[in-house]
Structure 1
Amino acid sequence: MMEDACERLTEDPQIDARRITVAVKDKEITLDGHVASRFEKREAEDCVEAMTGVNHVQNNLRIAEPGDGPGMSDRAATRG
């Protein structure tokens, strides 16, 4: 389930998954990290919530401040 979630986040053109970590426990997916906008935060949640077998998505993503850390262009979700 974690691999599928990471793959979906990475392949979604609306999401820059470089600073998103994914954890899975008991059919619950937890998203942590930073995204660029509220839209991207909601899109990430919707993306993994649509997966078969997911009972709940805990979205702990935060909106990054301008100039906060490195650029968000390397598109790869990480596993937590």
Structure 2
Amino acid sequence: MADTVETLTARRTAIVKARDSGVLTVKHGDELTTFRSLSEMNRIIGNLNAQIAALQGNQKKRVRYAYQSGKGL
């Protein structure tokens, strides 16, 4: 089953509400999820944000800088 922006956003909203209230168990639809820690919840929220951005075409681009140090000889 392919996730849509709406389902991912609803899942993220449920986790954020639970995190803000201090609860580690979230029910979304028929699923009941118990997280181990606040850091795990934050990691999942970050992953959901990345998935939503990718589906919307707003994925962050990585920029790589190359530095060379020395006297230039």
Per the normalisation by structure 1, the TM-score is 0.31
Does 1 or 2 have the higher relative contact order (CA < 8 Å, sep 6+)?
1
Structure exhibiting the larger radius of gyration computed from Cα positions: 2
Higher strand share: 1
Per the normalisation by structure 2, the TM-score is 0.33
